[in-house]
Structure 1
């Protein structure tokens, strides 16, 4: 029987509704839906007789012999043999597939262009003939005139006037597609002539700075009507992967800035008066072009203005002249505070930390030989180390921790190059000095005060490594973990700082250009929420290793890798950041690790790479300009002693058309901004308020879209409509609601929750998205090229939707969220798979838990290892995820932890994706649930 979609009048299409087992007829121009075929098509088959598409079949289906070659191995596809059929399945005869797999493959078969009976689908399976039918045109019976009329109708709906075209999607019938999150944000279409340069780099790459809307509403009323949040998500100091372009450097110290608003010259200014003056793109003031702007100082001859980096690149760095310096550029200073109490020594933290510092002394930034280093150990006393150049190091003990003083003003903070030999000797024996230390307790607060005194005149970075709750001296904390209040309205109190000492001390540090990084290792409660205040207000970062034990190789390796990456990072010292915007736009609130020194000046004593910040923006008055500009400027000292200004410029068109606003929305940036707002609300209000605010914001957006962009208007609708570019936003919000930092649960410890919130507010989008929407791969039947090296490195398997429907009892799967990697092994996995991957005889012998995969002499093992390695390396940041092997019948906690990553499933009191969408539909239609 022909598909109803091929027999409908112009402007109509049909979709199979698996829930009601019948076709739903949709008018494409208005979104109107009905169960009966539209009048005017007598040939349409009667609705009850319509047969469903085979892909929507809900029962397990047995496939024919010739259609399982991709799984069993053979020459039908020319692929390498896949060794792992389901146990007990007769070779070369038949194969059972999971129903979820068949269903989703069917939905995507047309998108993937699967044609002809012998083709391989996107998922590497052989498809039955009836799925592989030749693709039909979308409107097979339409004449060119009818198609033209259809185009006119779309034109009247303001589709495709300029910028991205608005396409409406029904969330009830379109499941989440993970690959959508790898797409670039909606295209930025500026008016012709907006940029003075035709350079492709004249607008900032989204990895540096992205806006939640790539077309800015001209009025605040229009923004409010859309209910979309307006803000910037930025990572101005993102790291560079091999092969990526360096940020262009302007070395001639000719810096052109607007006299009124202090905007830096950029590709969006206008040159007037014969090129002698330039008009600011922010405030329209006319400024003189500096005399040396057109002069090549290196060759001492006239230069080409149009070749200057600041007119061709949106991300550029200037070498700052002396007027940008309050004092000479400071050297890089590192003060290590190492907990040497009994717990720290016994866990192996001290030995691992000192060995890592020793092995990475060469990697600490010190090109100009100015870097200075100090070591302070602490338990309930402080231990200073005098390291004179050319002499023997000595230890000085200070037991009076109530009135901190430096026992020897000189030789505590030493030049890294000059005292290298002494530092190496000291680090080599430091763990031995304290190996028999039985002191229990931590004077972290006094140790921080001592480190601050040591570097107060210069500034720099304190790196504190602590293995227990601070118990004596300033900043001492009490264990406030109470299982009875977990999951109640009082839980948010545990996410707030318990002592004002750390915030007050952090503000002192910020004033003195001192940044603090915290590495926390306790096996019991450590009050991460309080200790994370220090990095939060000093622009540092917190790293947490619960129950750390260096005798487990995996623990030692993770900490050593992350610590060494932090040590080797180039850091930006004594930085201040300001974000400017065009007239009638104002930065209203800031989220991230910094201290707001004045209304809009962000103080950052030392800026690590790959930290993210979020800024909310308000529209104060009607915007009349055809486009607006946002410019982030950070004045800083490099760790090599040079004062520089990094400038990041983004230009975006303005629009008074609501459909353009929706079509330009960036779902990834919106998720990043909402994650920051949710964490802030969970601390200032309650966790429940935070979850409600996220859900309600999503409902508002969908209601606004339905009211303005669909024919249903304010009435009830059978669809849940949203623009195509926002179709992953609901599943991202669901991922946030199920994230450890915000999730409703009485089982999450305050330390784990506080650390998760720290990640939600500091991870760049490239790391944040997998953290709230993990990646899920099937390894046992992945295409033959996956795990091998291609043009762009190791080829990764296609990502799967996050549902346990995709888990097969004989399969091997990888689930990862950027912080943890799970290898899920089905209970019916064949012995050959276990032998090839783990070098063990059978599933029964395999032990679950944290482990390192063996490297074996077989191609499948090497491919799996390559995928795990690529997963650890492909994103920016120092993180090195642990690998856990999870057996299908593993211990419940580990199994539940892994399954909690499959956020489209129901878990505990949290809804599945389908339930979540149903709740949204009820709310959008105005009814409760």
Structure 2
């Protein structure tokens, strides 16, 4: 074959690391192909022939006489167009392969997809997917628009794991040709990759316009940290206060720079080109802020209202009878004790206090030279005061011995408690008084409904309201105290995190207001019982990771955008202090935020810039500014809007918007809103792009959006039902508004694997980590009576066991003689000395650790003929099926088509 340097004019060769071969590109037409241009019959890089499905011909896992049904070859897919045939590759494409059980995430979401998975074809057999068509702005060729017919194209979940459509900025948009100039999508992404130049064009396209942010996302062990500018030289626009970034322009011989947001010319700081460490002239172009879309500045003193306060934790621990009986008190104390070394305390500045509460408040003095703590009881919860506050809030390092003694003995202090009741409100007031001058974190662990003092709640859930228009009232706060107190905490930069354990109604809707307005987190463990090892394992893992997570304090966040764009609405856990200033008492890891945008005036610039700045204090007392910058081209072409749309970001927008609509209107209105957004988009696409009758067409990069919307409608957060407790709905709402998209998408679109006949390499360590099985469509028609299946949504894992599962399968996976000996429910899967058990455990281990966040999904074993409620819960993950009051995917598409075709639309 001809060598790459022997190319005809206009062609160039690029080495493709994924396929280990050259990719040839025609610079003029944009055509890409695998075969050398001088060879005959080039193989186009982005075309793929669909092949007929074949039976699984992998070798049997067990001998025929032991388990014929367990291992017999079966046709894995009934539809020839799904899944793509590249599932036969040794590494399953479309799923992260860069993790092994027990190891942290290795790469960012975007990098995983870029490095591991080839692009999926836009068309079927024999169709050329040319990536470019026509000239775009500034001579840049825009994305080509490819349509798919949803009625005949099965959903391909691999599309959800691909990166968003590439951003095609005009040449010279960034001053340095750096691949890191634009923020990684895991930090900031937009619902469209090309911004409409006019509001009328945006309205005509019906594509929502919003940003999805995760400014403090976690980093894997091998990921480089965010670059830090340490010289405290910060260049900002005098008019709009935008930070200098890769998309500014230097003018007047480099002495001034032009802001990319408001076009103001600004002076370059005198020390911008000076190396203060070595006292020599520095290379301007080596400064991180000119080549990186995400960068941090060490803030000078003018960014500080006061000296940075130490990281402070106040643990409010329920010590009532319900907390003791469930084992929550013992589990919480043990977890704090075992994680004292993991709490951020680099400069030995961290302070800690522990306050117990039931019908009274219990304060514990922790003297540095004492090994035995003393307890002070305040029984008057109507007039809270702090006894000896200086001995209650202590330095973690100095009072370590006393703190360890208290955590070891605290459960025994209340072991015989029969007290029923909770003065949570007064406990919150006491904790606030303790740290209101410095700010910090209040961590609440409670196992009962607040019943005494300020903030007392009633068990207001009425089963007669469930499934009715009045159900939304149960999802709103039952007492104004929780919102007003949260706002008071926000002003004092006090963050509240809630860990909820009640076995009965706990009013999650009211209690979650505290984390919502103070930038905290809510964790819910319904029916927690420490006697179940699975409950303890989940809580201990999540609470331990929570304590170990680095956190920013005293946070102020602004989102700036180019002239002509307006930030209209904000979603997430924060308090909106002014029209564009988000006050965050803390900046937790892996929280997500959604900002809706409006086009106020015609945009004439070839590209626009968005910038998010987070001013915060680190756990080691350093004031920093994290700046995230994203530049997007503008367009007057509606086809380019569709071709650049990001279905994952749109799904995150819909989830947040649905929560907002539920709280301000009704659940039914939220469902109608989701349906309307999808219907409007499909109708606009038909009118402006295809106009083909008998089809339900959408851009290839949006083909999963209708299924994501259906998953949202079928989710416990929105699903019409009179059987869903309001606490579960309210908790789902908190997750919708905080989960990063990498975990939110499986929460809406779960994953479904067949384990009993997975290829032999699945569950083993491959070149890039544990190999996952190929995913099945989310439909129960793929369930077989002899099979073993795994369903997971990122927060819960179900292991479905068919009623005809053979004894050998039961022995190899569960160490049980037969199906009848298996019990359903929460389960700890044994790791047995056989290959199949080890492979199944490896798959489960990878699923638990491959996504960002502290969550540890518990495992439920579901028997085919087992408990009906557990079966229905597991089957609800198969969102392509029909439900009691919800349509199947094909019925949903039919409803959308009928709405579009009706005269009223």
- TM (norm. structure 2) is 0.88
Equivalent residue, structure 1, for 2:383? 403
Residues 244-259 of structure 1 aligned to structure 2 (within 5 Å)? 244-259=223-238
Q: Which residue of the other structure, out of 810, 818, 821, is the alignment partner of 2:797?
A: 821
Equivalent residue, structure 1, for 2:332? 353
Matched, 1:601 2:581: yes
Task: Provide the C-alpha distance between the structure 2 equivalents of 1:121 and 1:489, rounded to a whole number of angstroms.
Answer: 45
Equivalent residue, structure 1, for 2:771? 795
Q: 1:814-843, CA deviations, whole angstroms, 9 ceiling, x for partnerless residues?
A: 100111000111111121111111111111
How big is the shift at 1:926? 1.9
Equivalent residue, structure 1, for 2:557? 577
How big is the shift at 1:112? 3.8
Equivalent residue, structure 2, for 1:893? 869
Q: Judging changes above 3 Å, is the alpha-carbon distance between structure 1 residues 112 and 471 closer, same or farther for their aligned structure 2 residues?
A: same
How big is the shift at 1:114? 8.1
Task: Provide the C-alpha distance between the structure 2 equivalents of 1:153 and 1:605, rounded to a whole number of angstroms.
Answer: 46
Residues 104-123 of structure 1 aligned to structure 2 (within 5 Å)? 104=79, 106-108=80-82, 112=86
**Which of structure 1's runs of 4+ aligned residues deviate more than 3 A?**
53-56, 81-91, 94-97, 108-115, 119-123, 150-158
Q: Which residue of the other structure, out of 364, 367, 383, is the alignment partner of 2:346?
A: 367
Q: Tell me if structure 2 keeps the 8 A contact 1:83–1:832.
A: no
Q: 1:256-303, CA deviations, whole angstroms, 9 ceiling, x for partnerless residues?
A: 000110000000000111111110000111111111111111221111
Equivalent residue, structure 2, for 1:529? 509
Task: Provide the C-alpha distance between the structure 2 equivalents of 1:89 and 1:326, rounded to a whole number of angstroms.
Answer: 71
Q: 1:194-243, CA deviations, whole angstroms, 9 ceiling, x for partnerless residues?
A: 00111111100000000000000000000000011000011000011121
How big is the shift at 1:161? 7.2
Task: Provide the C-alpha distance between the structure 2 equivalents of 1:833 and 1:527, rounded to a whole number of angstroms.
Answer: 43
Task: Provide the C-alpha distance between the structure 1 equivalents of 2:453 and 2:573, rounded to a whole number of angstroms.
Answer: 26
Q: Judging changes above 3 Å, is the alpha-carbon distance between structure 1 residues 530 and 874 closer, same or farther for their aligned structure 2 residues?
A: same
Residues 201-350 of structure 1 aligned to structure 2 (within 5 Å)? 201-350=180-329
How big is the shift at 1:790? 2.2
Q: Which residue of the other structure, out of 381, 384, 392, is the alignment partner of 2:363?
A: 384
Equivalent residue, structure 2, for 1:883? 859
Matched, 1:662 2:642: yes
Equivalent residue, structure 1, for 2:598? 618
Q: Tell me if structure 1 keeps the 8 A contact 2:496–2:521.
A: yes
Equivalent residue, structure 2, for 1:846? 822
Equivalent residue, structure 2, for 1:755? 731
Q: Tell me if structure 2 keeps the 8 A contact 1:84–1:780.
A: no
- Secondary structure at the counterpart of residue 174 of structure 2: coil
- Secondary structure at the counterpart of residue 753 of structure 2: strand
Task: Provide the C-alpha distance between the structure 1 equivalents of 2:537 and 2:56, rounded to a whole number of angstroms.
Answer: 41
How big is the shift at 1:407? 1.4
Residues 442-457 of structure 1 aligned to structure 2 (within 5 Å)? 442-457=422-437
Q: Which residue of the other structure, out of 69, 78, 94, is the alignment partner of 1:103?
A: 78
Residues 474-513 of structure 1 aligned to structure 2 (within 5 Å)? 474-513=454-493
Equivalent residue, structure 1, for 2:712? 736
How big is the shift at 1:846? 1.0
Point out where structure 1 has 5 or more consecutive residues left out of the alignment. Answer: 1-52, 57-62, 74-80, 124-134, 140-146
Q: Judging changes above 3 Å, is the alpha-carbon distance between structure 1 residues 631 and 154 closer, same or farther for their aligned structure 2 residues?
A: closer
How big is the shift at 1:82? 5.9
Residues 543-582 of structure 1 aligned to structure 2 (within 5 Å)? 543-582=523-562
Task: Provide the C-alpha distance between the structure 1 equivalents of 2:262 and 2:93, rounded to a whole number of angstroms.
Answer: 51
Task: Provide the C-alpha distance between the structure 1 equivalents of 2:351 and 2:638, rounded to a whole number of angstroms.
Answer: 56
Task: Provide the C-alpha distance between the structure 1 equivalents of 2:236 and 2:93, rounded to a whole number of angstroms.
Answer: 52
Q: Which residue of the other structure, out of 647, 657, 669, is the alignment partner of 2:627?
A: 647
RMSD of aligned residue pairs (Cα, Å): 2.4
Task: Provide the C-alpha distance between the structure 1 equivalents of 2:303 and 2:73, rounded to a whole number of angstroms.
Answer: 71
Task: Provide the C-alpha distance between the structure 2 equivalents of 1:356 and 1:341, rounded to a whole number of angstroms.
Answer: 19
Q: Tell me if structure 2 keeps the 8 A contact 1:536–1:592.
A: yes
How big is the shift at 1:585? 0.5
- TM (norm. structure 1) is 0.86
Task: Provide the C-alpha distance between the structure 1 equivalents of 2:784 and 2:800, rounded to a whole number of angstroms.
Answer: 10
Matched, 1:906 2:882: yes
- Secondary structure at the counterpart of residue 762 of structure 1: coil
Point out where structure 2 has 5 or more consecutive residues left out of the alignment. Answer: 1-49, 95-122
- Secondary structure at the counterpart of residue 867 of structure 1: helix
Q: 1:831-887, CA deviations, whole angstroms, 9 ceiling, x for partnerless residues?
A: 111111111111111111101110111111111111111111111111111100111
Q: Tell me if structure 1 keeps the 8 A contact 2:67–2:807.
A: no
Q: Tell me if structure 2 keeps the 8 A contact 1:163–1:188.
A: no
Q: Which residue of the other structure, out of 158, 177, 201, is the alignment partner of 1:198?
A: 177
Matched, 1:782 2:761: no
How big is the shift at 1:785? 1.6
Q: Judging changes above 3 Å, is the alpha-carbon distance between structure 1 residues 244 and 89 closer, same or farther for their aligned structure 2 residues?
A: closer
Task: Provide the C-alpha distance between the structure 2 equivalents of 1:90 and 1:389, rounded to a whole number of angstroms.
Answer: 63
Q: Tell me if structure 2 keeps the 8 A contact 1:331–1:641.
A: yes
How big is the shift at 1:95? 5.0
- Secondary structure at the counterpart of residue 823 of structure 2: coil
Q: Judging changes above 3 Å, is the alpha-carbon distance between structure 1 residues 89 and 339 closer, same or farther for their aligned structure 2 residues?
A: closer
Equivalent residue, structure 1, for 2:834? 858
Q: Judging changes above 3 Å, is the alpha-carbon distance between structure 1 residues 424 and 68 closer, same or farther for their aligned structure 2 residues?
A: closer
**How many residue pairs align between the two structures?**
826
Q: Which residue of the other structure, out of 165, 174, 177, is the alignment partner of 1:186?
A: 165
Q: Tell me if structure 1 keeps the 8 A contact 2:606–2:634.
A: yes
Q: Tell me if structure 2 keeps the 8 A contact 1:55–1:103.
A: no
Equivalent residue, structure 2, for 1:138? 126
Q: Judging changes above 3 Å, is the alpha-carbon distance between structure 1 residues 668 and 82 closer, same or farther for their aligned structure 2 residues?
A: farther
Equivalent residue, structure 1, for 2:812? 836
Q: Tell me if structure 1 keeps the 8 A contact 2:310–2:350.
A: yes
Task: Provide the C-alpha distance between the structure 2 equivalents of 1:276 and 1:653, rounded to a whole number of angstroms.
Answer: 27
Q: Tell me if structure 1 keeps the 8 A contact 2:812–2:836.
A: yes
Residues 696-707 of structure 1 aligned to structure 2 (within 5 Å)? 696-707=676-687
Q: Judging changes above 3 Å, is the alpha-carbon distance between structure 1 residues 596 and 786 closer, same or farther for their aligned structure 2 residues?
A: same
Residues 680-719 of structure 1 aligned to structure 2 (within 5 Å)? 680-712=660-692, 717-719=693-695
Q: 1:127-183, CA deviations, whole angstroms, 9 ceiling, x for partnerless residues?
A: xxxxxxxx99727xxxxxxx9xx999975999x972321001100001111111010
- Secondary structure at the counterpart of residue 192 of structure 1: coil
Matched, 1:175 2:150: no
Task: Provide the C-alpha distance between the structure 1 equivalents of 2:598 and 2:548, rounded to a whole number of angstroms.
Answer: 39
Q: Tell me if structure 1 keeps the 8 A contact 2:92–2:774.
A: no
Task: Provide the C-alpha distance between the structure 2 equivalents of 1:618 and 1:86, rounded to a whole number of angstroms.
Answer: 65
Q: Judging changes above 3 Å, is the alpha-carbon distance between structure 1 residues 248 and 849 closer, same or farther for their aligned structure 2 residues?
A: same
Larger mean Cα displacement after TM superposition, 544-553 or 290-299: 290-299
Q: Judging changes above 3 Å, is the alpha-carbon distance between structure 1 residues 412 and 222 closer, same or farther for their aligned structure 2 residues?
A: same
Q: Tell me if structure 2 keeps the 8 A contact 1:83–1:833.
A: no
Matched, 1:870 2:846: yes
How big is the shift at 1:88? 5.5
Q: Which residue of the other structure, out of 453, 457, 480, is the alignment partner of 1:473?
A: 453
Q: Tell me if structure 2 keeps the 8 A contact 1:272–1:278.
A: yes
Q: Judging changes above 3 Å, is the alpha-carbon distance between structure 1 residues 288 and 153 closer, same or farther for their aligned structure 2 residues?
A: closer
Q: Tell me if structure 1 keeps the 8 A contact 2:214–2:592.
A: yes
